[in-house]
Amino acid sequence: MTKKLVILFALWVSLVLPGPLPAQQTDTALLDTPFARIEEQARGSQVRWYLFGGWAHVNTWVDTYVAGEMKKRYDIDLVRVPMDAGVFVNKLLNEKAAGRKKGNIDLLWINGENFKNSKEAGLLFGPFAQKLPNVQQVVDPDSVAFDFGYPVDGYEAPYGRAQFVFEYDTAQVGTPPKTVAALKAWIRANPGRFTYPQPPDFTGSAFIRQIFYAVTGGHEQYLAGWDPDLFARQSPRLWAWFNDIEPFLWQKGRTYPKDSAFLDTLFSRGEVAFGMSYHPPHAQNKILEGSYPDTVRTFVMEDGSIYNTHFTAIPFNSPNKAGAMVLANFLISVEAQLSKYRPDNWGDFPALDPNRLGPADQKRFQAVDLGPATLGSDQLDRVAVPEIPSAYLEALEQGWKDHVLDN
Protein backbone atom coordinates (compact mmCIF):
# COMPACT_ATOMS: atom_id res chain seq x y z
CA MET A 1 0.00 0.00 0.00
CA THR A 2 1.36 3.42 -0.87
CA LYS A 3 1.81 6.14 1.73
CA LYS A 4 -1.23 7.99 0.35
CA LEU A 5 -3.41 4.90 0.77
CA VAL A 6 -2.10 4.30 4.29
CA ILE A 7 -3.04 7.87 5.16
CA LEU A 8 -6.48 7.44 3.61
CA PHE A 9 -6.93 4.27 5.63
CA ALA A 10 -6.00 6.05 8.86
CA LEU A 11 -8.40 8.91 8.10
CA TRP A 12 -11.18 6.46 7.35
CA VAL A 13 -10.67 4.66 10.66
CA SER A 14 -10.65 7.91 12.64
CA LEU A 15 -13.73 9.36 10.94
CA VAL A 16 -15.91 6.32 10.37
CA LEU A 17 -14.86 3.97 13.15
CA PRO A 18 -14.43 6.13 16.25
CA GLY A 19 -14.93 3.15 18.54
CA PRO A 20 -13.35 -0.31 18.53
CA LEU A 21 -12.98 -1.98 15.14
CA PRO A 22 -15.80 -4.42 14.36
CA ALA A 23 -15.46 -8.16 14.71
CA GLN A 24 -14.70 -10.20 11.61
CA GLN A 25 -17.63 -11.09 9.41
CA THR A 26 -18.66 -14.75 9.61
CA ASP A 27 -21.31 -16.84 7.93
CA THR A 28 -21.63 -19.83 10.22
CA ALA A 29 -24.13 -21.53 7.93
CA LEU A 30 -21.62 -21.64 5.07
CA LEU A 31 -18.62 -22.39 7.25
CA ASP A 32 -20.48 -25.32 8.82
CA THR A 33 -21.54 -26.73 5.44
CA PRO A 34 -19.72 -29.80 4.05
CA PHE A 35 -17.41 -28.74 1.23
CA ALA A 36 -19.12 -31.02 -1.31
CA ARG A 37 -22.32 -29.04 -0.75
CA ILE A 38 -20.42 -25.76 -1.07
CA GLU A 39 -19.18 -26.95 -4.47
CA GLU A 40 -22.74 -27.75 -5.51
CA GLN A 41 -23.94 -24.35 -4.32
CA ALA A 42 -21.23 -22.66 -6.39
CA ARG A 43 -21.91 -24.65 -9.56
CA GLY A 44 -23.08 -22.52 -12.47
CA SER A 45 -22.21 -19.22 -10.76
CA GLN A 46 -19.84 -16.36 -11.56
CA VAL A 47 -16.75 -15.59 -9.45
CA ARG A 48 -15.04 -12.21 -9.72
CA TRP A 49 -11.37 -12.37 -8.71
CA TYR A 50 -9.64 -9.04 -8.05
CA LEU A 51 -5.86 -9.23 -8.42
CA PHE A 52 -2.80 -7.36 -9.59
CA GLY A 53 -2.93 -7.16 -13.39
CA GLY A 54 0.54 -5.92 -14.28
CA TRP A 55 2.03 -9.23 -15.44
CA ALA A 56 0.86 -10.41 -18.86
CA HIS A 57 1.90 -14.03 -18.32
CA VAL A 58 -0.03 -14.20 -15.03
CA ASN A 59 -3.12 -12.71 -16.67
CA THR A 60 -2.86 -15.28 -19.45
CA TRP A 61 -2.54 -18.14 -16.96
CA VAL A 62 -5.62 -16.97 -15.04
CA ASP A 63 -7.70 -16.31 -18.16
CA THR A 64 -6.85 -19.60 -19.85
CA TYR A 65 -5.84 -22.32 -17.41
CA VAL A 66 -7.67 -21.25 -14.23
CA ALA A 67 -10.80 -20.02 -15.98
CA GLY A 68 -10.87 -23.12 -18.18
CA GLU A 69 -10.53 -25.50 -15.24
CA MET A 70 -13.16 -23.69 -13.17
CA LYS A 71 -15.61 -23.93 -16.08
CA LYS A 72 -14.83 -27.57 -16.77
CA ARG A 73 -14.87 -28.74 -13.17
CA TYR A 74 -17.60 -26.57 -11.64
CA ASP A 75 -19.34 -24.73 -14.50
CA ILE A 76 -18.10 -21.52 -12.84
CA ASP A 77 -17.47 -18.43 -14.98
CA LEU A 78 -14.31 -16.78 -13.69
CA VAL A 79 -13.95 -13.03 -14.24
CA ARG A 80 -10.47 -11.60 -13.63
CA VAL A 81 -10.57 -7.95 -12.50
CA PRO A 82 -7.15 -6.23 -12.54
CA MET A 83 -6.71 -3.85 -9.63
CA ASP A 84 -3.90 -2.98 -7.22
CA ALA A 85 -4.43 -4.28 -3.71
CA GLY A 86 -4.41 -0.86 -2.08
CA VAL A 87 -7.19 0.27 -4.40
CA PHE A 88 -9.54 -2.61 -3.69
CA VAL A 89 -8.88 -2.33 0.06
CA ASN A 90 -10.08 1.28 -0.07
CA LYS A 91 -13.04 0.19 -2.19
CA LEU A 92 -14.03 -2.25 0.56
CA LEU A 93 -13.51 0.39 3.25
CA ASN A 94 -15.93 2.68 1.46
CA GLU A 95 -18.47 -0.10 1.04
CA LYS A 96 -18.19 -0.97 4.73
CA ALA A 97 -18.76 2.67 5.66
CA ALA A 98 -21.79 2.84 3.38
CA GLY A 99 -23.28 -0.34 4.88
CA ARG A 100 -23.14 -2.14 1.53
CA LYS A 101 -23.76 -5.77 2.46
CA LYS A 102 -23.46 -7.09 -1.09
CA GLY A 103 -20.48 -5.98 -3.12
CA ASN A 104 -19.00 -7.22 -6.40
CA ILE A 105 -15.66 -8.68 -5.27
CA ASP A 106 -15.65 -12.41 -4.55
CA LEU A 107 -11.95 -13.17 -4.09
CA LEU A 108 -8.82 -11.07 -3.51
CA TRP A 109 -5.11 -11.65 -4.13
CA ILE A 110 -3.66 -10.06 -1.01
CA ASN A 111 -0.92 -10.16 1.61
CA GLY A 112 1.18 -8.01 3.92
CA GLU A 113 -0.08 -4.69 5.21
CA ASN A 114 -3.13 -4.81 2.94
CA PHE A 115 -4.23 -8.03 4.63
CA LYS A 116 -3.49 -6.68 8.11
CA ASN A 117 -5.45 -3.48 7.51
CA SER A 118 -8.34 -5.37 5.93
CA LYS A 119 -8.60 -7.90 8.72
CA GLU A 120 -8.42 -5.29 11.47
CA ALA A 121 -11.15 -3.24 9.77
CA GLY A 122 -13.51 -6.22 9.54
CA LEU A 123 -13.36 -6.34 5.74
CA LEU A 124 -12.81 -10.09 5.45
CA PHE A 125 -14.99 -13.19 5.65
CA GLY A 126 -13.85 -16.16 7.68
CA PRO A 127 -12.11 -17.98 9.09
CA PHE A 128 -12.48 -20.11 5.98
CA ALA A 129 -9.02 -21.44 5.02
CA GLN A 130 -9.03 -24.60 7.12
CA LYS A 131 -12.41 -25.43 5.61
CA LEU A 132 -10.71 -25.98 2.23
CA PRO A 133 -9.84 -29.66 1.61
CA ASN A 134 -6.63 -28.85 -0.25
CA VAL A 135 -5.39 -26.63 2.57
CA GLN A 136 -6.03 -29.51 4.98
CA GLN A 137 -4.25 -32.01 2.78
CA VAL A 138 -1.21 -30.34 1.22
CA VAL A 139 -0.39 -27.20 3.26
CA ASP A 140 1.84 -27.06 6.32
CA PRO A 141 -0.20 -24.85 8.68
CA ASP A 142 2.87 -23.58 10.52
CA SER A 143 4.41 -22.26 7.28
CA VAL A 144 1.41 -20.03 6.55
CA ALA A 145 0.35 -19.05 10.07
CA PHE A 146 1.72 -15.51 9.66
CA ASP A 147 1.66 -12.95 6.87
CA PHE A 148 4.45 -10.38 7.31
CA GLY A 149 4.47 -11.26 11.01
CA TYR A 150 0.70 -10.87 11.39
CA PRO A 151 -1.50 -13.85 12.37
CA VAL A 152 -3.55 -15.19 9.47
CA ASP A 153 -6.12 -16.96 11.68
CA GLY A 154 -7.77 -18.66 8.71
CA TYR A 155 -8.74 -15.43 6.91
CA GLU A 156 -6.40 -16.13 3.99
CA ALA A 157 -5.66 -19.24 1.92
CA PRO A 158 -2.11 -19.62 0.57
CA TYR A 159 -1.56 -19.83 -3.14
CA GLY A 160 2.07 -19.04 -3.96
CA ARG A 161 5.49 -18.22 -2.61
CA ALA A 162 7.97 -15.51 -3.56
CA GLN A 163 11.60 -14.88 -2.65
CA PHE A 164 14.04 -12.04 -3.27
CA VAL A 165 16.75 -12.69 -5.87
CA PHE A 166 19.36 -10.76 -7.81
CA GLU A 167 20.07 -11.09 -11.55
CA TYR A 168 23.30 -10.72 -13.51
CA ASP A 169 24.60 -11.38 -17.02
CA THR A 170 27.37 -13.97 -17.00
CA ALA A 171 28.74 -12.41 -20.18
CA GLN A 172 29.37 -9.17 -18.28
CA VAL A 173 30.01 -10.20 -14.66
CA GLY A 174 32.17 -13.18 -13.79
CA THR A 175 31.40 -13.85 -10.11
CA PRO A 176 28.68 -11.72 -8.52
CA PRO A 177 28.98 -10.49 -4.91
CA LYS A 178 27.05 -12.82 -2.62
CA THR A 179 27.16 -10.97 0.69
CA VAL A 180 25.97 -7.49 1.53
CA ALA A 181 29.51 -6.47 2.43
CA ALA A 182 30.82 -7.78 -0.90
CA LEU A 183 28.01 -5.99 -2.74
CA LYS A 184 28.97 -2.68 -1.15
CA ALA A 185 32.60 -3.21 -2.15
CA TRP A 186 31.56 -4.09 -5.72
CA ILE A 187 29.40 -0.96 -6.03
CA ARG A 188 32.25 1.28 -4.88
CA ALA A 189 34.68 -0.43 -7.27
CA ASN A 190 32.28 -0.15 -10.24
CA PRO A 191 30.72 3.34 -10.12
CA GLY A 192 27.54 3.88 -12.08
CA ARG A 193 26.82 0.17 -12.55
CA PHE A 194 24.30 -0.42 -9.75
CA THR A 195 20.96 1.01 -8.70
CA TYR A 196 17.66 -0.10 -7.17
CA PRO A 197 14.01 0.97 -7.53
CA GLN A 198 12.93 3.88 -5.40
CA PRO A 199 10.67 2.90 -2.48
CA PRO A 200 7.78 2.51 -2.03
CA ASP A 201 8.18 0.36 -5.15
CA PHE A 202 7.69 -3.19 -3.89
CA THR A 203 11.05 -4.49 -5.15
CA GLY A 204 12.98 -1.44 -3.99
CA SER A 205 11.40 -1.66 -0.56
CA ALA A 206 12.28 -5.36 -0.35
CA PHE A 207 15.89 -4.56 -1.24
CA ILE A 208 16.04 -2.10 1.66
CA ARG A 209 14.72 -4.75 4.03
CA GLN A 210 17.29 -7.21 2.70
CA ILE A 211 20.09 -4.78 3.61
CA PHE A 212 18.38 -3.89 6.92
CA TYR A 213 18.55 -7.51 8.05
CA ALA A 214 22.21 -7.86 7.10
CA VAL A 215 23.65 -4.67 8.60
CA THR A 216 21.70 -4.72 11.89
CA GLY A 217 22.34 -8.28 13.05
CA GLY A 218 19.56 -10.31 11.47
CA HIS A 219 15.78 -10.47 11.29
CA GLU A 220 15.04 -12.41 14.49
CA GLN A 221 15.10 -9.32 16.72
CA TYR A 222 12.19 -7.78 14.76
CA LEU A 223 9.79 -10.73 14.71
CA ALA A 224 8.16 -10.01 18.07
CA GLY A 225 6.42 -6.94 16.68
CA TRP A 226 6.97 -3.26 16.03
CA ASP A 227 9.45 -1.76 18.49
CA PRO A 228 10.12 1.94 17.82
CA ASP A 229 13.03 2.08 20.25
CA LEU A 230 14.72 -0.88 18.60
CA PHE A 231 14.20 0.67 15.17
CA ALA A 232 15.64 3.99 16.34
CA ARG A 233 18.74 2.22 17.65
CA GLN A 234 19.34 0.02 14.62
CA SER A 235 18.24 2.01 11.58
CA PRO A 236 21.16 4.52 11.55
CA ARG A 237 23.39 1.64 10.43
CA LEU A 238 21.12 1.16 7.44
CA TRP A 239 21.05 4.81 6.43
CA ALA A 240 24.85 4.93 6.69
CA TRP A 241 25.16 1.93 4.35
CA PHE A 242 22.95 3.55 1.72
CA ASN A 243 24.55 6.98 2.04
CA ASP A 244 27.98 5.42 1.64
CA ILE A 245 27.07 3.84 -1.71
CA GLU A 246 24.95 6.68 -3.09
CA PRO A 247 27.76 8.58 -4.95
CA PHE A 248 28.73 5.33 -6.69
CA LEU A 249 25.25 4.48 -7.99
CA TRP A 250 23.80 4.92 -11.47
CA GLN A 251 23.35 8.64 -12.12
CA LYS A 252 25.52 9.14 -9.00
CA GLY A 253 22.44 8.50 -6.88
CA ARG A 254 20.79 11.74 -7.99
CA THR A 255 17.80 9.75 -9.24
CA TYR A 256 16.48 6.21 -8.93
CA PRO A 257 14.38 3.93 -11.16
CA LYS A 258 10.75 4.75 -10.44
CA ASP A 259 9.79 1.08 -10.37
CA SER A 260 11.13 -2.42 -10.99
CA ALA A 261 10.10 -2.32 -14.66
CA PHE A 262 12.46 0.63 -15.22
CA LEU A 263 15.26 -1.29 -13.52
CA ASP A 264 14.52 -4.24 -15.82
CA THR A 265 14.99 -1.91 -18.79
CA LEU A 266 18.27 -0.54 -17.49
CA PHE A 267 19.53 -4.07 -16.88
CA SER A 268 18.43 -5.35 -20.27
CA ARG A 269 20.26 -2.45 -21.95
CA GLY A 270 23.44 -3.16 -20.00
CA GLU A 271 23.36 0.23 -18.27
CA VAL A 272 23.55 -1.48 -14.88
CA ALA A 273 25.12 -4.82 -14.03
CA PHE A 274 22.42 -6.24 -11.76
CA GLY A 275 18.68 -6.61 -11.73
CA MET A 276 16.57 -7.76 -8.80
CA SER A 277 13.16 -9.28 -8.27
CA TYR A 278 10.87 -10.69 -5.59
CA HIS A 279 9.98 -13.41 -8.10
CA PRO A 280 12.60 -16.18 -8.48
CA PRO A 281 11.70 -17.09 -12.10
CA HIS A 282 11.58 -13.44 -13.22
CA ALA A 283 14.84 -13.68 -15.17
CA GLN A 284 13.77 -16.90 -16.89
CA ASN A 285 10.44 -15.31 -17.82
CA LYS A 286 12.33 -12.38 -19.34
CA ILE A 287 14.57 -14.74 -21.31
CA LEU A 288 11.55 -16.63 -22.65
CA GLU A 289 9.90 -13.39 -23.81
CA GLY A 290 13.14 -12.18 -25.41
CA SER A 291 13.79 -9.22 -23.08
CA TYR A 292 16.93 -10.66 -21.47
CA PRO A 293 19.85 -12.48 -23.14
CA ASP A 294 20.07 -16.19 -22.39
CA THR A 295 23.30 -15.58 -20.46
CA VAL A 296 21.41 -14.01 -17.52
CA ARG A 297 21.42 -15.96 -14.27
CA THR A 298 20.06 -15.51 -10.74
CA PHE A 299 21.79 -15.46 -7.36
CA VAL A 300 20.95 -14.81 -3.71
CA MET A 301 22.79 -13.25 -0.81
CA GLU A 302 24.38 -15.67 1.61
CA ASP A 303 23.35 -13.26 4.40
CA GLY A 304 19.75 -14.31 3.74
CA SER A 305 17.02 -13.93 1.14
CA ILE A 306 13.60 -12.60 2.14
CA TYR A 307 10.57 -14.71 1.24
CA ASN A 308 6.83 -14.41 1.68
CA THR A 309 3.63 -16.21 0.82
CA HIS A 310 0.86 -14.67 -1.23
CA PHE A 311 -2.71 -15.49 -0.36
CA THR A 312 -6.31 -15.20 -1.40
CA ALA A 313 -9.02 -13.78 0.85
CA ILE A 314 -12.78 -13.30 0.66
CA PRO A 315 -14.40 -9.88 1.36
CA PHE A 316 -17.05 -9.53 4.03
CA ASN A 317 -19.64 -8.61 1.37
CA SER A 318 -18.69 -11.08 -1.36
CA PRO A 319 -21.90 -11.97 -3.21
CA ASN A 320 -20.60 -15.48 -3.93
CA LYS A 321 -18.64 -16.73 -0.95
CA ALA A 322 -19.21 -20.35 -1.91
CA GLY A 323 -17.74 -19.78 -5.37
CA ALA A 324 -14.81 -17.89 -3.85
CA MET A 325 -14.07 -20.81 -1.54
CA VAL A 326 -14.17 -23.24 -4.46
CA LEU A 327 -11.73 -21.08 -6.43
CA ALA A 328 -9.39 -20.62 -3.43
CA ASN A 329 -9.42 -24.39 -2.89
CA PHE A 330 -8.62 -25.08 -6.55
CA LEU A 331 -5.71 -22.62 -6.57
CA ILE A 332 -3.92 -24.60 -3.84
CA SER A 333 -4.61 -27.95 -5.52
CA VAL A 334 -1.72 -30.08 -6.77
CA GLU A 335 -2.80 -29.58 -10.39
CA ALA A 336 -3.06 -25.78 -10.18
CA GLN A 337 0.18 -25.44 -8.22
CA LEU A 338 1.99 -27.62 -10.74
CA SER A 339 0.66 -25.62 -13.69
CA LYS A 340 1.60 -22.34 -12.00
CA TYR A 341 5.11 -23.66 -11.25
CA ARG A 342 6.00 -24.21 -14.91
CA PRO A 343 7.99 -21.20 -16.19
CA ASP A 344 6.21 -21.16 -19.54
CA ASN A 345 2.96 -20.54 -17.61
CA TRP A 346 4.15 -18.36 -14.72
CA GLY A 347 6.96 -19.97 -12.73
CA ASP A 348 5.45 -19.05 -9.36
CA PHE A 349 6.76 -21.28 -6.60
CA PRO A 350 4.21 -23.56 -4.92
CA ALA A 351 2.74 -22.83 -1.51
CA LEU A 352 2.08 -26.48 -0.75
CA ASP A 353 4.33 -28.72 1.35
CA PRO A 354 6.09 -31.30 -0.87
CA ASN A 355 6.40 -33.63 2.12
CA ARG A 356 2.59 -33.93 2.16
CA LEU A 357 2.50 -35.17 -1.43
CA GLY A 358 2.64 -38.75 -2.58
CA PRO A 359 5.77 -40.01 -4.39
CA ALA A 360 4.18 -39.65 -7.84
CA ASP A 361 3.24 -36.00 -7.27
CA GLN A 362 6.62 -35.21 -5.75
CA LYS A 363 8.27 -36.52 -8.92
CA ARG A 364 5.99 -34.35 -11.07
CA PHE A 365 7.19 -31.21 -9.30
CA GLN A 366 10.81 -32.36 -9.38
CA ALA A 367 10.52 -32.94 -13.13
CA VAL A 368 9.55 -29.32 -13.89
CA ASP A 369 12.34 -27.64 -15.84
CA LEU A 370 12.68 -24.22 -14.24
CA GLY A 371 15.23 -23.10 -16.83
CA PRO A 372 18.89 -22.24 -16.28
CA ALA A 373 18.19 -18.76 -14.90
CA THR A 374 16.02 -19.94 -11.98
CA LEU A 375 17.48 -21.23 -8.73
CA GLY A 376 16.05 -24.45 -7.36
CA SER A 377 14.02 -24.58 -4.17
CA ASP A 378 16.92 -26.22 -2.31
CA GLN A 379 19.18 -23.23 -3.07
CA LEU A 380 16.45 -20.77 -2.09
CA ASP A 381 15.36 -22.58 1.06
CA ARG A 382 18.94 -22.67 2.37
CA VAL A 383 19.07 -18.86 2.73
CA ALA A 384 15.36 -18.05 3.17
CA VAL A 385 14.43 -15.60 5.94
CA PRO A 386 10.89 -14.40 6.72
CA GLU A 387 9.33 -11.00 6.37
CA ILE A 388 9.07 -8.89 9.53
CA PRO A 389 5.90 -7.10 10.74
CA SER A 390 4.54 -4.61 8.24
CA ALA A 391 5.00 -1.62 10.58
CA TYR A 392 8.72 -1.91 9.90
CA LEU A 393 8.06 -1.67 6.16
CA GLU A 394 6.37 1.69 6.54
CA ALA A 395 9.09 2.99 8.86
CA LEU A 396 11.84 1.82 6.51
CA GLU A 397 10.26 3.46 3.47
CA GLN A 398 9.75 6.76 5.27
CA GLY A 399 13.19 6.57 6.83
CA TRP A 400 14.83 5.95 3.46
CA LYS A 401 13.11 9.05 2.09
CA ASP A 402 14.15 11.18 5.06
CA HIS A 403 17.71 9.94 5.55
CA VAL A 404 18.79 8.90 2.04
CA LEU A 405 16.68 10.46 -0.71
CA ASP A 406 16.28 13.87 0.94
CA ASN A 407 19.58 13.84 2.81
Write out pLDDT tens, residues 278-331. 999 999 999 999 999 999 999 999 999 999 999 999 999 999 999 999 999 999
Q: What is the pLDDT of residues 337-377, one digit of tens each?
A: 999 999 889 999 999 999 999 999 999 999 999 999 999 98
Assess whether pLDDT exceeds 80 at residue 14: no
Query: 163-307+387-405 adopts what CATH topology?
Result: D-Maltodextrin-Binding Protein; domain 2 (3.40.190)
Assess whether pLDDT exceeds 60 at residue 393: yes
pTM: 0.85
pLDDT at 321: 97
pLDDT band of residue 90 (cuts 50, 70, 90) is very high
Among 27-36, 154-163, 308-317, the least confident range: 27-36
**Cα–Cα dist 221/288, whole Å:** 40
Measure Cα distances from 218 to 138, 147, 209, 236, 398 in Å.
31, 19, 10, 15, 21
Residue closest to 332 by CA, chosen among 306, 301, 315, 353: 353
Cα 190 from chain centre: 31
Residue closest to 42 by CA, chosen among 68, 66, 81, 78: 78
Residue closest to 194 by CA, chosen among 202, 180, 183, 204: 183
Residue closest to 25 by CA, chosen among 112, 100, 82, 83: 100
> Rounded mean pLDDT of 194-202?
95
pLDDT at 15: 42
pLDDT band of residue 20 (cuts 50, 70, 90) is very low
The type of residue at 176 is P
pLDDT band of residue 12 (cuts 50, 70, 90) is very low
Q: Show the DSSP H helices in 110-227 as ranges.
A: 112-120, 133-138, 180-189, 202-215
**Cα–Cα dist 322/319, whole Å:** 9
Query: 3-161+309-370 adopts what CATH topology?
Result: D-Maltodextrin-Binding Protein; domain 2 (3.40.190)
**Cα–Cα dist 208/197, whole Å:** 10
> Rounded mean pLDDT of 168-179?
96
Indicate the pairing of strand 384-386 with strand 305-313: parallel
The type of residue at 195 is T
Beta bridge partners of 108: 50, 313
Beta bridge partners of 274: 168
Please indicate whether the domains covering 3-161+309-370 and 163-307+387-405 agree at the CATH topology level: yes
> Rounded mean pLDDT of 76-100?
94
Q: Domain limits of the chain?
A: 3-161+309-370, 163-307+387-405
Measured in Å, how far apart are the chain's first and last C-alpha atoms?
24
Q: What is the pLDDT of residues 248-276, one digit of tens each?
A: 999 999 999 999 999 999 999 999 999 99
| Mean pLDDT score of the chain | 92
Neighbouring residues of 311: CB distance < 8 A, sequence distance ≥ 6: 109, 110, 111, 115, 144, 147, 152, 156, 157, 158, 159
